[in-house]
């Protein structure tokens, strides 16, 4: 049986990918830029946190992308 990656994990991986592509910021520096605790943002990127719609909008704005870009799949 194939194991499916959870939506939160896929979302977090996409956020991490875009953070690395769009900014020169570390996880800690990006979290500070958008006003999140580093520990919370780390949990978002690892799929352990379930970000609110407001948090998703904040992340998108910090990355300079549309919210929809956070849900695109490169596969």
Q: Domain segments of the chain: what residues?
A: 7-69
The CA distance from 29 to 44, in Å, is 15
Question: What digits encode the pLDDT tens for the residues 9-60?
Answer: 999 999 999 999 999 999 999 999 999 999 999 999 999 999 999 999 999 9
| Res. 1 pLDDT band, cuts 50 70 90 | very low
What CATH fold (topology level) applies to the domain 7-69? Answer: 434 Repressor (Amino-terminal Domain) (1.10.260)
Check whether 3 has a pLDDT greater than 80: no
Q: How many CB atoms sit inside 10 A of residue 56's CB?
A: 16
Per-residue model confidence (pLDDT) at position 25:
97
User: Is the pTM higher than 0.85?
Assistant: yes
Per-residue model confidence (pLDDT) at position 75:
57
């Amino acid at each position: 049986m194939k194991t499916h990656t959870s939506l939160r994990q896929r979302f977090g991986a996409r956020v991490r990918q875009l953070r690395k592509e769009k900014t020169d910021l570390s996880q800690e520096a990006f979290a500070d830029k958008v006003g999140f605790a580093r520990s919370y943002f780390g949990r978002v990127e690892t799929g352990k946190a379930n970000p609110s719609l407001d948090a998703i909008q904040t992340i998108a704005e910090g990355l300079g992308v549309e919210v929809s870009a956070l849900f695109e799949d490169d596969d």
